[in-house]
């Protein structure tokens, strides 16, 4: 046992001599490498500014530890305190180890772990560099700060809509939304001062469609509420939207406190979205008389158009002759309550309403930087918009129509909604996400290195062998293995595939 320590000291010594006898440029290269890995560490997460976790090599840990060695590890660093975490930390709490034989220590793998507090946090980078370079040290890293995952915000206990459609479950599977996706909200404007919205709203494209100005101040509150449902910020306060990240663009089409608008203004809004390439549009207005001109404008638009079914409690198959069921990129949404039945005010229609979504007493952002609940099909449509935005962000190979089909083919089918809409179901983001994970892929597409049409641990193992140099891939396999298209196959590609297999990170086949 002692000999292993002597060997390790010898190795240390040999390395020291070797390093010190290298030409200056090699030393510089080593420093640069250490510098690079320290910078990477400090950029990879939030951490306590003046604390470092140090794991010693096995040869200097536990039974083999020697006070002199330990001191020499920490001596070059100006520290406030050094705590050995692997000592019994509960002694202060009066706990006694009544059965020392019962202590569970894996002697084969045991290593001492220390928490080092620096005198001066500005020394963090330098201290990490010194520790990493020390051959008695196995690991030195910042004391990272961690948070529980898939939590919402404090007021989210009112947001029953989130879990109803599987928001948190979808986040856990890597579907969180991205700012790449632009959502246009044709509505009454937005509370431009709302602290829970500001980070996901884009004011460079925001526009007052009617007055042709950039002032999109909310005249009614309706638009502010919709924005919160789609993309309120996950920031530890208030509420959250279905998208952790998204780009929302207020397109103001109403100017009175009632929030009225006209078909011509709506058409201008749709044209604006087409011109600026906005991916998805939300229109939550009761279309009491159907306009074929609006239909044409939506057909001209290449994005996804989502509207509310209206709040008259009517069968719009009967009342709204010629509603938009012939327009491929248009989805019509009715409202459900938390018990998954139709809200009594919600219009329905076996042909003209596509699906239902939560829209009764849902909770979101309100004007003057406040929060509250609201009901209406107006608030069901934005949840479909939000789900579409999440899917578009991650399944980037899908067309607008494929996104629509993905949502409609994967609703939660509910007897209470049967015959009331095309799908007979309620929006389920998590069902759509699961359908993407279980879909068969083209052979040798991204990640499918063995060409089986699915991504499994066999694919990840081949990737590992490729980057370790123990497997020679065919050209096809090489393309499939470079998942992030960096030009080389590395451990990053491997990790991406492992995470795909664990269903925590999704990437499209191309
Ligand atoms: Ca929030
Ligand atoms: Ca495969
Ligand atoms: Ca790669």
92 among known catalytic residues = no
Question: How far is C-alpha 392 from the geometric centre of its chain's CA atoms?
Answer: 13
- Is the CATH code 1.10.1330.10 the one for domain 440-510? yes
- 409 CB neighbour count, 10 Å cutoff: 12
**Which of 410, 372, 412 minimizes the C-alpha distance to 391?**
410
CA–CA distance, 331 with 304 (Å, rounded to integer)? 8
| Domain topology for 154-438 | Rossmann fold (3.40.50)
Give the pLDDT band (50/70/90) at residue 225: very high
- Mean pLDDT over residues 276-292, rounded? 86
- Mean pLDDT over residues 295-302, rounded? 92
Query: What is the share, in percent, of the chain residues with pLDDT greater than 90?
Result: 66
Å from CA of 490 to ligand 3 middle: 5
Least confident of 26-40, 93-107, 190-204: 93-107
* The pLDDT value given to residue 9: 47
- Of all ligands present, the nearest one to the C-alpha of 486 is 3
CB 248 within 8 Å of CB 186: no
285: which DSSP letter?
Answer: S
- Mean pLDDT over residues 77-84, rounded? 89
Give the pLDDT band (50/70/90) at residue 30: low
- Of all ligands present, the nearest one to the C-alpha of 151 is 1
HEC sequence for 280-327: EEEECCCCCCCCHHHHHHHHHCCCEEEEECCCCCCEHHHHCCCCCCCC
pLDDT tens readout for residues 455-482: 999 999 999 899 889 999 999 999 999 9
Least confident of 37-51, 214-228, 261-275: 37-51
Question: How far is C-alpha 315 from the geometric centre of its chain's CA atoms?
Answer: 38
Structure tokens at 306: 């989502």
Measured between alpha carbons, how far is residue 308 from residues 281, 374, 481 in Å? 12, 14, 44
**Which of 263, 280, 481 minimizes the C-alpha distance to 393?**
280
Domain ranges of the chain: 2-93+105-144, 154-438, 440-510
Pairing of strands 304-308, 330-336: parallel
The Cβ-side half-sphere exposure at 151, using a 13 Å CA radius, reads 11
pTM, entire model? 0.73
CB 407 within 8 Å of CB 166: no
- Mean pLDDT over residues 173-180, rounded? 96
Measured between alpha carbons, how far is residue 70 from residues 2, 64, 87, 131 in Å? 16, 11, 14, 12
**Marked catalytic residue, from 222, 428, 459, 460:** 222
CA–CA distance, 355 with 283 (Å, rounded to integer)? 15
Least confident of 147-156, 183-192, 372-381: 147-156
Query: What is the share, in percent, of the chain residues with pLDDT greater than 70?
Result: 87
**Marked catalytic residue, from 307, 378, 428, 460:** 378
Structure tokens at 210: 């009617």
Give the pLDDT band (50/70/90) at residue 23: very low
Å from CA of 440 to ligand 2 middle: 10
Give the pLDDT band (50/70/90) at residue 247: very high
Å from CA of 345 to ligand 2 middle: 49
Å from CA of 485 to ligand 3 middle: 5
CB 251 within 8 Å of CB 273: yes
Å from CA of 425 to ligand 2 middle: 33
Least confident of 68-82, 144-158, 411-425, 475-489: 144-158
Å from CA of 178 to ligand 2 middle: 27
- Of all ligands present, the nearest one to the C-alpha of 460 is 2
CA–CA distance, 88 with 77 (Å, rounded to integer)? 25
The answer on pLDDT for 428 being more than 60 is: yes
* The pLDDT value given to residue 130: 93
187 among known catalytic residues = yes
- Of all ligands present, the nearest one to the C-alpha of 485 is 3
Give per-residue burial for 483-510: e unless 16+ CB within 10 Å, then b: beeeeebbeebbbbbbebbeeebbbebe
Å from CA of 240 to ligand 1 middle: 5
The answer on pLDDT for 250 being more than 70 is: yes
CB 55 within 8 Å of CB 137: yes
222 among known catalytic residues = yes
Give the pLDDT band (50/70/90) at residue 16: very low
């Amino acid at each position: 046992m002692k000999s292993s320590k002597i060997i390790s000291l010898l190795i240390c010594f040999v390395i020291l001599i070797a390093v010190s006898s290298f030409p200056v440029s090699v030393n510089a290269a080593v420093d640069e490498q250490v510098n690079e890995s320290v910078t990477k560490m400090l950029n990879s997460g939030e951490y306590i500014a003046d604390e470092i976790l140090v794991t010693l090599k096995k040869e200097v840990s536990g039974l083999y530890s020697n006070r002199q060695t330990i001191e020499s590890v920490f001596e070059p660093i100006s520290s406030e305190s050094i705590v050995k975490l692997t000592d019994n930390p509960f002694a202060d709490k009066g706990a006694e180890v009544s059965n020392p034989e019962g202590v569970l220590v894996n002697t084969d793998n045991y290593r001492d772990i220390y928490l080092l507090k620096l005198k001066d946090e500005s020394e963090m980078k330098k201290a990490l560099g010194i520790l990493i370079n020390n051959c008695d040290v196995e690991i030195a890293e910042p004391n990272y700060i961690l948070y529980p995952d898939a939590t919402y915000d404090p007021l989210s206990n009112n947001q029953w809509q989130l879990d109803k459609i599987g928001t948190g479950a979808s986040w856990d599977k890597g579907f969180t939304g991205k700012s790449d996706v632009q959502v246009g909200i044709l509505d009454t404007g937005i509370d431009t001062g709302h602290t829970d919205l500001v980070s996901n709203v884009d004011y460079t494209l925001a526009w007052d469609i009617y007055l042709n100005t950039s002032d999109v101040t909310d005249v009614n509150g309706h638009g502010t509420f919709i924005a919160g449902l789609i993309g309120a910020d996950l920031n530890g306060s208030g509420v959250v939207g279905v998208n952790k990240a998204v780009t929302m663009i207020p397109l103001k089409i109403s100017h009175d406190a009632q929030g009225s608008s006209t078909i011509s203004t709506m058409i201008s809004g749709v044209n604006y979205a087409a011109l600026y390439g906005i991916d998805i549009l939300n229109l939550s207005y009761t279309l009491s008389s159907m306009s074929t001109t609006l239909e044409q404008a939506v057909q001209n638009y290449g994005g996804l158009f989502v509207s509310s079914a209206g709040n008259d409690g009517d069968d719009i198959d009967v009342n709204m002759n010629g509603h938009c069921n012939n327009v491929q990129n248009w989805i019509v949404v009715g409202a459900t309550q938390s018990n998954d039945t139709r809200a009594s005010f919600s219009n329905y229609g076996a042909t003209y309403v596509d699906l239902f979504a939560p829209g009764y007493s849902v909770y979101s952002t309100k004007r003057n930087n406040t929060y509250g609940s609201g009901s209406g099909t107006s608030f069901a449509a934005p949840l479909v918009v939000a789900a579409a935005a999440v899917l578009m962000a991650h399944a980037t190979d899908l067309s607008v129509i494929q996104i629509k089909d993905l949502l409609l083919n994967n609703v939660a089918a509910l007897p209470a909604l049967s015959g009331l809409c095309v799908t007979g179901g309620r929006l389920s983001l998590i069902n759509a996400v699961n359908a993407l994970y279980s879909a068969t892929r083209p052979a040798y597409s991204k990640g499918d290195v063995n060409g089986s049409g699915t991504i499994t641990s066999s694919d990840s193992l081949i990737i590992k062998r490729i980057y370790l140099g123990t497997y020679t891939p065919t050209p096809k396999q090489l393309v499939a293995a470079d998942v992030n298209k960096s030009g080389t196959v590395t451990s990053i590609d491997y990790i991406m595939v492992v995470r795909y297999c664990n269903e925590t990170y999704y990437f499209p086949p191309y």
